[in-house]
Amino acid sequence: MTYEYRCRDCDETFDVTASVAEKAAGLSPECPKCGSSNVSQVFGGFGVLSGSRASGLGGGSMCGPGAGCC
């Protein structure tokens, strides 16, 4: 599994690869940029704002196969 984290100090986002067992035991990743452990996990949901769906949300003219908006 890959988990996404964001550094609260420098706003760097980075991925942490760990097994489910390791995640359950508690991860304490450090920011690869500034070395801070003041990080928070980024959960899914932001994905809808990236990729092809973003243009559908913004343009309003992208409704078509796979868009699921009509």
Contacting residue, 5, 16, 31, 56, with Zn ion by CB under 5 A: 31
Q: Is 16 in the site for Zn ion (CB under 5 A)?
A: no
3-state SS, one letter per residue, for the chain: CEEEEEECCCCCEEEEECCHHHHHHCCCCCCCCCCCCCEEEECCCHHHHCCHHHHHHHHCCCCCCCCCCC
- Shortest Å, Cβ 32 to Zn ion: 8
Q: Are 12 and 31 in contact (CB under 8 A)?
A: yes
- Shortest Å, Cβ 66 to Zn ion: 37
Contacting residue, 27, 34, 57, 63, with Zn ion by CB under 5 A: 34
Subset of 42-61 contacting Zn ion (CB under 5 A): none
Contact residues for Zn ion (CB under 5 A)?
7, 9-10, 12, 31, 33-34, 36
